[in-house]
Amino acid sequence: MSDVLLPVAIALPLVAATLPIALGLKYERAGWPVAAVATTALAGLATAIGVEVARDGTLSHALGTYEPPIGIELVADELSVAVLALVAVVSLATLAFARVAGPRGNAFYSGYLLLVGGLTGLVLTGDLFNMFVFLEIVGISTYALIAADRSGASAYASLKYLVVGTVGASLYLLGVGYAFLATGTLNMLDMQVQIVEQASYADPLIRASYALIVAGLGLKIAVFPIHAWQPDAYQRAPDAVTTIVAALVSTASAYALIRVSYTVFTVDFLAANDAITTVMLIVAGASILAGSALAAMQSDLKRMFAYSSVAQFGMIVAAVALANETALLGGIVHLVGHGLLKFGLFLGVGLLALGYGARELDDLASAARSAPYTAGAVALLGLGLVGIPPSIGFLGKWYIGVGAVEASMGGGDPAGIGIAVVIFVSTLFTLSYVARVIERFYFAGVGLSDGHGDGSHGDEHGDGSDHGVAADGGSESPSAQTTDALIGGDEGNDSPLTPVAGAPRSRFVPDRVPPAPLVILILAALTTVALGFGGYALFEWFDPFLTEVFA
């Protein structure tokens, strides 16, 4: 009976999505409470599903009265539970930030719940066409959310995503159609069998189907060179929307890629088609390099981390294409870990924007002085993104790198070593942009205000930096400026971080940011570190799934 949890988990947010609009007729602010209740309930359901899977292994449910393979099947295994948990936690946690940062209004929360429902369905479905439906639900709700603050730039970003996202989803649908043509089934497990029985791994129809599915999902994942929608979307969307979209949407698409590649087409298909894996590795490598390099060039924080996602998902695609156990484990760990890291990073950036109006790297001089906890958490998450142990970011990258080297051992493809090198280079790039952020946080703006308290910050801001230097920098200032010039800081805007008018004040911390999201940010940062110690536990958890697909 516990398999009924699966349809309930999908239906709950979808049904709840109608409530804000319906209740909105009577109550102006019904959206947030409804969303909070629904996502809390979803978190509970996700926990229950997780417990069931941990106890009994894979959980499946046939929808309606039609038995699979004709009917639609919902499946939860170790992989889907991990991503489902991420979806539940992030969607619940983002609400705390959305409450203070907006966008407000009941329609937003309807869209938000629709997105959560779509993601849940995407993760739990065991049917290829059903997956397309949820992919579209996710896509459409994302288009709406990105434009939710009604600015011109976000409308354009949303439109761009709408157009290319629709083409991408269509490609996926085309691919599914080809596969259906070849096998006569849409159920994932059934298709796995039918591909061998009714077609073959060398069948052009099957290959074309995989090509179209990979292209379509590649767009949703945003790998180079079809990533162009993603930086615009992340940068222009409202901060709360970026937080959930960056953490979950591409992650769910990458989950879909892993699911389709390993459950439907299987590792034997990849092994039988060298050209396919080679092209995927090349694209992944290009994505890793280009994403990291583009991220290092950015001065807008959200755009920087958006490009960083292009690189990180390149690694996950590479892990899929390497098709060995270690690399896939790394890919899955990185999938979840990266979701958490990006959630935290965009939340931190959003908080700094909310409390201090800082969106550019240059605005962040001495952020660690005015907002030590926020800056510290962002720095911690950034170091995790670089892959400095102990952090989940390190574990994922490490397993992918080891898997890449393993793939090249024993006369294998040299592409594996190539990927390992690319990951290393990308780590250097990542270090360079994370180091720029940390340098701004902790070292820039030295000597501009040496601890006269909050009051003097405002004065200096008004007078301009030169006066500030003369007034209290004293003889230190020339050397401070020289140092700054030497380490490549942009001259000019070194005025310290100033809170916006009406920024919240807390009794416990000097950070002028809302307390509840700050607590969540710190928890997220600590979780990424804590998970970093759980390497073996993660391996244990994913082992049944890996054993099954590599059987």
Question: Which positions lie near other proteins, rule CB under 8 A?
Answer: 159-160, 163-164, 167-168, 171, 204, 207-208, 210-212, 214-216, 218-219, 225-226, 228-229, 273-276, 279, 293, 296-297, 299, 486, 488
Tell me the C-alpha to C-alpha distance, in Å, between residue 124 and each of 15, 19, 42, 56, 259: 17, 23, 13, 17, 11
Minimum gap (Å) between residue 174 Cβ and other proteins? 9
Residue among 165 and 384 whose Cβ is closer to other proteins: 165
Long-range CB contacts (within 8 A, 24+) of 405-414: 406/324, 406/326, 406/327, 407/322, 407/323, 407/324, 407/327, 413/274, 413/278
Question: Considering only CA atoms, which of 129, 260, 277 is closest in space to residue 195?
Answer: 260
| 3-state secondary structure at position 388 | coil
For 167, the token pair is 């083409």
| 3-state secondary structure at position 338 | helix
Minimum gap (Å) between residue 378 Cβ and other proteins? 22
Question: Considering only CA atoms, which of 337, 125, 166 is closest in space to residue 251?
Answer: 337
Minimum gap (Å) between residue 253 Cβ and other proteins? 14
Question: Considering only CA atoms, which of 520, 531, 293 is closest in space to residue 389?
Answer: 531
Contact 342, 247 (CB under 8 A): yes
Angstrom distance (rounded) from CA 355 to CA 502: 9
Question: Considering only CA atoms, which of 497, 482, 494, 510 is closest in space to residue 448?
Answer: 494
Minimum gap (Å) between residue 394 Cβ and other proteins? 27
Minimum gap (Å) between residue 549 Cβ and other proteins? 20
Contact 406, 550 (CB under 8 A): no
Residue among 283 and 336 whose Cβ is closer to other proteins: 283
Residue among 204 and 464 whose Cβ is closer to other proteins: 204
Residue among 237 and 351 whose Cβ is closer to other proteins: 237
Angstrom distance (rounded) from CA 456 to CA 497: 12
| Residue with token string 């979803």 | 42
Minimum gap (Å) between residue 225 Cβ and other proteins? 5
Minimum gap (Å) between residue 228 Cβ and other proteins? 4
| 3-state secondary structure at position 300 | strand
Residue among 2 and 166 whose Cβ is closer to other proteins: 166
Residue among 160 and 359 whose Cβ is closer to other proteins: 160
Contact 13, 141 (CB under 8 A): no
Residue among 11 and 487 whose Cβ is closer to other proteins: 487
CB atoms within 10 A of CB 58: 16
Residue among 160 and 397 whose Cβ is closer to other proteins: 160
Angstrom distance (rounded) from CA 286 to CA 290: 6
Residue among 32 and 178 whose Cβ is closer to other proteins: 178
Contact 91, 14 (CB under 8 A): no
Minimum gap (Å) between residue 320 Cβ and other proteins? 14
Residue among 189 and 211 whose Cβ is closer to other proteins: 211
Residue among 6 and 226 whose Cβ is closer to other proteins: 226
Minimum gap (Å) between residue 207 Cβ and other proteins? 5
Angstrom distance (rounded) from CA 158 to CA 173: 22
Residue among 63 and 293 whose Cβ is closer to other proteins: 293
Give the β-pairing of 59-62 and 73-76. antiparallel
For 427, the token pair is 């780590």
Residue 239: half-sphere exposure toward Cβ, Cα within 13 Å: 24
Minimum gap (Å) between residue 54 Cβ and other proteins? 37
Minimum gap (Å) between residue 254 Cβ and other proteins? 16
Minimum gap (Å) between residue 155 Cβ and other proteins? 12
| Contacting residues for 175 by C-beta, under 8 A, at least 6 apart | 208, 209, 210, 211, 212, 213, 214, 215, 216
